[in-house]
Amino acid sequence: MVKSIKLKGVDLLSLCHHKLGNGETISFWDDCWCGDQSLKSKFPHIYLLDNDKGCNVANRLSLPDWGSILRRNPRGGIEASQFTDLRLLIEPVVLNPHRDTWTWSLGVLKGFFVASIRSLIDLHFLGANLNATRWNRIWID
């Protein structure tokens, strides 16, 4: 259902964001947890050097030395620049003992509600002046 709605112009998953806790369920490279894009997109040269591209945030932040997980040390130029920028970006990050969670950007104060999705979809498909759709509860096994 989410994919078919996205094909029609409403990307619901883009409204969900990671909230870092202990870092055990968030992918260091693939998930957007530190900024507005994934670290593999922001630092592609360092991503290519990493031997464990599937690592989580907790594993990567606990490393005292990256030499053991990179295929080789970053060389000068763009690799050295990206490596320095990556280290500066993640250096101030502090994990806490709580589980990682998700946040819903349409309900910042109240959290997630189906009504917020319904309003977004109705606005996109029906426009501002039309009657809202009627949503029926269905059960999926």
Q: How far apart are CA 64 and CA 10, in angstroms?
A: 42
Nearest to 17 by CA among 113, 94, 104, 98: 104
Q: Is the pLDDT of residue 113 over 70?
A: no
Query: What's the mean pLDDT when you consider all of the chain?
Result: 83
Q: How confident is the model at residue 69 (pLDDT cuts 50, 70, 90)?
A: very high
Q: Is the pLDDT of residue 83 over 80?
A: yes
Q: Is the pLDDT of residue 130 over 60?
A: no
- Structure confidence at residue 8 (pLDDT): 77
- Structure confidence at residue 121 (pLDDT): 72
